[in-house]
Amino acid sequence: MRILYATDGSSQARAAGVLLTSLNLSPKDRLTIFTVDDRSGEIAYDQIFTSAFEDLSGTAATIDTRNAEGFADEGILKEARRSASDLLVLGAKGSSVGRDARRVLRHAPCSVLVARQKYTSMRNILFAFDGTGPSIAAAQNLLRFPLPPDARIHLVTVLRPMNPNLPQRESEHLRNGLDADQVLGDLDRIKDNFRAAGRQALLHTLRGHPAACLLDYAKTEEIDLIVLGFYNTSVPERILRFFIGSISERVVRHASCSILLMRPTS
């Protein structure tokens, strides 16, 4: 796995480095510490890299460093494409995901892990499943992802609330129009695949607004990491904004824990 860890030395960025040590990596995995100088002359590369190496002392991955000049989001995206990264890791800014991080999330060519300062482990993981292609691909990728061996994975889907004015069958469709029985069947097979791989996997069905249900569940169950599938960046920007603005971006904006957006691999 090729991992690009973007850091500016801030506490949120350093939390992302600590979170990386939770992954089950080996010397075959290559981890690049990357920082961008905004041309202000205030970036102390040596200090940033030294701190990052300290935070990453618990990983077995092979580590190197790179730096660039320019705007942070543009530099990160350019380096992710140049290095053909499989995973991009960065910290959230403050209580929400900052502007640079949101742009990176929308346009990154690979999966993106956004860390929050209080969540630097991966013991309790929520995987949100909606039955769509990106969600199915995310489940396959998560099965191969180097999670810690003792991670507990909550496989969660959200159905519409029961409508007493509709036949039960009609009311059981998801908001995306997919049949609930089919989605639940797919999720049950995903659970079996995770358990066959030696993972702890639990299946949960919720009812209500997807983003609100996922956020409430994450808080109640003390989730460390929420995993979401994401749509291909080749779709037009206006369509991309609709998808990410509907559920994924609400979860990313308001979740108190770390977030992993899984992009399909080619």
pLDDT surpasses 80 at 162: no
Cα–Cα dist 176/93, whole Å: 31
pLDDT surpasses 50 at 242: no
pLDDT surpasses 80 at 171: no
Provide mean pLDDT across the span 65-89.
92
| Cα torsion 113, 119, 120, 122: sign | negative
Q: pLDDT grade, residue 100 (50/70/90)? A: low
Residue 131, phi-psi category: left (phi > 0), alpha (psi -120 to 50), beta (remainder): left
Q: Which residue has the higher pLDDT, 180 or 149?
A: 149
Structure tokens at 246: 């509907």
CATH number of 124-262: 3.40.50.620
CB-based burial of residue 35 (10 Å sphere; 0-12 exposed, 13-18 middle, 19+ buried)? buried
Q: What angle do CA 41, 98, 111 make, to 5 degrees?
A: 100
Verdict on whether the full-model pTM lies above 0.75: yes
Cα–Cα dist 45/66, whole Å: 10
Domain spans of the chain, in order of start: 2-115, 124-262
- Whether 2-115 shares its CATH topology with 124-262 is answered yes
Q: 2-115 is classed in which CATH architecture?
A: 3-Layer(aba) Sandwich (3.40)
- CA distances 210 to 157, 166, 246, 261, Å, are 8, 20, 10, 16
pLDDT surpasses 60 at 226: yes
Q: pLDDT grade, residue 176 (50/70/90)? A: low
Find which of 7-21, 31-45, 170-184 is predicted with most confidence, using mean pLDDT: 7-21
